[in-house]
Amino acid sequence: MSKTEYEFFPVTDVEFTVCPGDDPKITERILAADGDSGVATRILRYEPGADSTPMGVQRHDFWEEVYIIEGSFEDLSLGKTFTAGMYACRPPGMPHGPWRTDEGVLTFEVRYRGASREATT
C-alpha cells in the first residue's frame, strides 16, 4: 500500500476529471494515489457557481490537508469563507462542507492514513 513513485513532471499532464458526486463543476487532478487505501494527492477545482450541497457534509476515515491556491469558497455549515493562502488540517471524522463558490477555487490536497484524532490528543 503506497503511492507510485514519480520524479518531477508538469501537473498539467494530468487531466481534470469529475469528482465523485458527478457535478461537472467540481473536478480533480489526481497526482498520486494508492488505490488500496484510497489516499491521494490531488488538485481540486470548483468552477465559479459550484455548490456541493447535494453531497452534504463530508467526513473521511483519513487525514486531509488542504491549501487554497487561488479563489475562495464558503463552508455552508460554518457560514465562513476561506480564501487563497489559507490552510486546513483535518483529522479522520472531522465534518466539513458542503461548499459553495461564486468565483471558483483551486486547492492542493494531501490525504493519508495515520493515527486518529483520539490517539493524537
* Per-residue confidence (pLDDT) for residue 121, from 0 to 100: 44
Give the whole-angstrom CA distance, residue 63 versus residue 41. 12
* Per-residue confidence (pLDDT) for residue 116, from 0 to 100: 56
Give ∠ CA 14-30-74 in degrees, rounded to 5: 115
pLDDT truncated to tens, each residue of the chain (121 aa)? Answer: 578 888 999 999 999 999 988 899 999 999 999 878 878 999 999 999 999 999 999 999 999 999 999 999 999 999 999 999 999 999 999 999 999 999 999 999 999 987 655 544 4
- Quote the cell numbers at residue 8: 518531477
Give the whole-angstrom CA distance, residue 117 versus residue 121. 6
Which residues contact residue 3 at a Cβ distance below 8 angstroms, ignoring those fewer than 6 apart?
32, 33, 34, 39, 40, 41
Domain membership of residue 48 (yes or no) is: yes
pTM: 0.89
Full domain range(s) for residue 56 = 17-114
Strands 63-75 and 99-100: antiparallel
Q: What CATH number has the domain bearing residue 109? A: 2.60.120.10
C-alpha 79: how far from chain center? 19
Domain count across the chain: 1
Domain membership of residue 31 (yes or no) is: yes
Domain membership of residue 45 (yes or no) is: yes
* Per-residue confidence (pLDDT) for residue 53, from 0 to 100: 95
Domain membership of residue 10 (yes or no) is: no
